[in-house]
A and B are shown apart, each in its own frame.
Chain A
Amino acid sequence: GAVVSQHPSWVICKSGTSVKIECRSLDFQATTMFWYRQFPKQSLMLMATSNEGSKATYEQGVEKDKFLINHASLTLSTLTVTSAHPEDSSFYICSAPPGTGKNIQYFGAGTRLSVL
């Protein structure tokens, strides 16, 4: 099956610094990827849709200047949490459909971000 790799799996950073999370499709091309945030004991909340070669589409209430998304190639999308604060601490997960026009999602392993 399709594999989505996410890195790093865990990161601890100081308040005010920026953190970059990578999401790679290993055996398929992904023109679209999705970024989710999950707080403890809560659901996955869609943050944004990452589009290869164009701007990301952000969900309502998500600050695009805070969460920078870049989808520079057909296999890589990055999420940068800028000027991170303790309230940004969360589990971030990416996903990608294995082909154009398909709505099955394959998920990365997630990144646990802890901001001190």
Chain B
Amino acid sequence: GENVEQHPSTLSVQEGDSAVIKCTYSDSASNYFPWYKQELGKRPQLIIDIRSNVGEKKDQRIAVTLNKTAKHFSLHITETQPEDSAVYFCAASPVSAGGFKTIFGAGTRLFVKA
């Protein structure tokens, strides 16, 4: 089955700096790659996603890149703010007989220091 690896597990940046989180996936059939932000005790919130027919997508301060050949994708947050502090999860969605599952990476705890 699909396996998603995520690095780093913890990331600390100064306010205004950029943050980059990287993920790799194993199943070449995966075609949808969402990124979620989760605050303590709350549900994951989708912040951006990318499909396998696109190499890059940007939404204001957040961008995601996808390299299908290498099976890796990255999240880039620019001009970080203290409210960006949270746990970020990458995920991959493989097509399977049971429908679309979402397999999560281990998560990255981002700290943005004011």
Contact = CB atoms under 8 A, between A and B. Distances in A.
A89 interface: no
Looking at chain B, what size class is its interface with the partner chain?
A: 20 to 34
Interface string B29-64: 001101000000111101001000000000000000
A93 B44 CA distance: 9
Given A42-B106, A46-B103, A104 B89 contact: no
Q: Using C-beta atoms within 8 Å of the partner chain, give the interface range for chain A.
A: 20 to 34
Interface in A84-99: 91, 93, 95, 97
B44 A44 contact: yes
A42 B107 contact: yes
Nearest to A100: B99
B102 A103 contact: yes
Residue from B46, B98, B102 whose CB has the most chain A CB atoms within 10 Å: B102
Interface string A37-50: 00001111110010
14 contacts: A32-B99, A41-B109, A42-B106, A43-B89, A44-B44, A49-B98, A93-B44, A95-B102, A103-B102, A104-B46, A104-B49, A109-B42, A109-B43, A110-B42
Given A34-B102, A44-B104, A97-B100, 15 more contacts: A32-B98, A42-B106, A43-B107, A44-B44, A44-B89, A46-B101, A49-B101, A51-B99, A60-B1, A91-B41, A103-B31, A103-B100, A104-B34, A104-B49, A108-B43
